[in-house]
Amino acid sequence: MDDLTLTGLAAAIADRKLSAVEATAGCLDRIARLDGRLRAFITLDAEGALARARALDADLAAGRRRGPLHGVPLAYKDLCHVRGLPTSCGTKTAEYFTSEIECTAVARLTAAGAVTLGKLNMTELALGPFGDNPHHGNVDNPWKPGHVAGGSSSGSGAAVAAGLAYGALGSDTGGSIRLPAACCGIVGIKPTYGRVSRAGVMPLSWSLDHLGPMTRTVRDAALMLEIVAGHDPHDATSSPRPVDALVAGLERGPAGLRVALPDNYYFDGVTPEVRTAVETAAGVLASRGARVQILRLPDPALLNDVANILARSESATIHARVARERPHELGAAVRSRLEVGFHISAHDYLQAGRLRARLAREFVAEVFAETDAVLAPAIPEPPPALDAVTAGPVDEIVRRMGRFSRLTRPFNVLGLPVVALPCGIGADGRPLGVQIVGRPFDESTILRLAHAYEEATDWHTRRP
Query: Residue 314: inside a domain, yes or no?
Result: no
Identified catalytic residue from 88, 154, 156, 176: 176
Domain encompassing residue 415: 6-301+350-461
Residues 6+ apart with CB under 8 A from 152: 90, 122, 123, 126, 127, 128, 129, 131, 171, 173, 176, 180
The answer to whether residues 78 and 92 touch, using CB atoms and an 8 Å cutoff, is no
Is residue 426, in this structure, part of any structural domain at all? yes
Q: Report the relative pairing of strands 291-295 and 258-262 from DSSP bridges.
A: parallel
191 CB-contact burial (10 Å; exposed 0-12 / middle 13-18 / buried 19+): buried
Q: What is the dihedral of CA 265, 271, 272, 274, to 10 degrees?
A: -80
pLDDT tens, the chain, 464 aa long: 778 999 999 999 999 999 999 999 999 999 999 999 999 999 999 999 999 999 999 999 999 999 999 999 999 999 999 999 999 999 999 999 999 999 999 999 999 999 999 999 999 999 999 999 999 999 999 999 999 999 999 999 999 999 999 999 999 999 999 999 999 999 999 999 999 999 999 999 999 999 999 999 999 999 999 999 999 999 999 999 999 999 999 999 999 999 999 999 999 999 999 999 999 999 999 999 999 999 999 989 899 999 999 999 999 999 999 999 999 999 999 999 999 999 999 999 999 999 999 999 999 999 999 999 999 999 999 999 999 999 999 999 999 999 999 999 999 999 999 999 999 999 999 999 999 999 999 999 999 999 999 999 999 999 99
Which residue of the set 19, 88, 152, 197 is catalytic? 152
Q: Classify residue 226: in a domain, yes or no.
A: yes
Within a domain: 373: yes
Could you confirm whether 152 is annotated as catalytic? Answer: yes
Residue of 19, 77, 207, 444 marked active site: 77
Of 420, 417, 418, residue with least CA distance to 441? 417
- Positive or negative, the CA dihedral 159, 165, 166, 170 is negative
Q: Residue 312: which residues within 8 A CB-CB, separation 6 or more?
A: 337, 338, 340, 341, 344
Q: State how many domains the chain has.
A: 1
In a domain, 95, yes or no: yes
pTM over 0.95: yes
Domain assignment present for residue 333? The answer is no
Is 277 a domain residue? Answer: yes
Contact 396, 340 (CB under 8 A): no
Q: Establish whether 444 is a catalytic residue.
A: no
Catalytic status, residue 99: no
Q: What is the CATH number of the domain that holds 166?
A: 3.90.1300.10
- Predicted local distance difference test score (pLDDT) of residue 1: 72
- Select from 172, 193, 159, 137 the least CA-distant residue to 73: 159
Evaluate whether residue 212 is within a structural domain: yes
Give residues with Cβ within 8 angstroms of 392, minimum separation 6: none
| Phi and psi at residue 267, to the nearest 5° | -110, 0
